Amino acid sequence: MKEAEVSESGNLVIYSLNIKANDALGLSLEFSDFELSENAVLSIFSRFELTDSITNSENND
């Protein structure tokens, strides 16, 4: 898997990673052992819409 692209917009740092699953009927992403900072948001987009936004309230403490 390639590394994420990093860009900045104002005071935001944005990491983007495209995941392709040609001919897949479904795709699931699993995250473990992560800790987002207080102001961080992990947003997951499909090709058509925002599917999820994860904040530090969901950290693995």
Question: What is the C-alpha separation between 61 and 59, in angstroms, rounded?
Answer: 6
Question: What is the C-alpha separation between 9 and 49, in angstroms, rounded?
Answer: 21
Does the structure show a pLDDT above 60 at 5? yes
pLDDT at 2 (0 to 100): 66
Number of domains in the chain: 1
Domain with 26, as residue range(s), is: 5-58
pLDDT at 23 (0 to 100): 94
Give residue-wise pLDDT tens across range 29-56: 887 788 899 989 988 888 788 888 889 9
Percent of the chain with pLDDT over 90: 18
